[in-house]
Amino acid sequence: MSEIPNDQPLSDAAAGFAKEQLKSFIERIERLEGEKKTISEDIKDVFAEAKGTGFDVKALREILRIRKQDGDQRAEHEAIVDLYLQALGMVGA
């Protein structure tokens, strides 16, 4: 397969294909951005509903963050936090 030198223009067919491919990527990204916005608004509504029923939204966000971690990662983080709290005299040894 021969290489096309960088200074040679693309053929009309290749340029047309690249243009259509670029347009396709842009349209897909725009569609996904719209879906992401809708999902973000839905999540915000769920947090507002939870707050309205008396749940602490900051605690819910912390639980969600913790649930994303694997068990070992979470245990390591909790051990470090506990060590720091002990060093600061904020919890019993």
- Tell me the C-alpha to C-alpha distance, in Å, between residue 86 and each of 2, 17, 62, 79, 90: 67, 63, 22, 10, 6
- Three-class secondary structure assignment of 31-56: HHHHHHHHHHHHHHHHHHHHHHCCCC
* Domains contained in the chain, number: 2
Co-location of 37 and 47 in the same domain: yes
pLDDT digits (tens, 9 = 90+) for 65-90: 999 999 999 999 999 999 999 999 99
**Average pLDDT estimate for 51-66:** 97
> Structural domain of residue 33, as residue ranges?
11-55
Co-location of 33 and 50 in the same domain: yes
Co-location of 28 and 43 in the same domain: yes
The yes-or-no verdict on residue 3 having pLDDT over 60 is no
Q: Write phi, then psi, for 55 (nearest 5 degrees).
A: -80, 145
Q: State if pTM tops 0.75.
A: no
Tell me, yes or no, whether 40 lies in a domain: yes
- Quote the CA–CA distance of 4 and 62 in Å, as a whole number: 54
Give the HSE-up count for residue 92: Cα atoms under 13 Å, Cβ half-sphere: 0
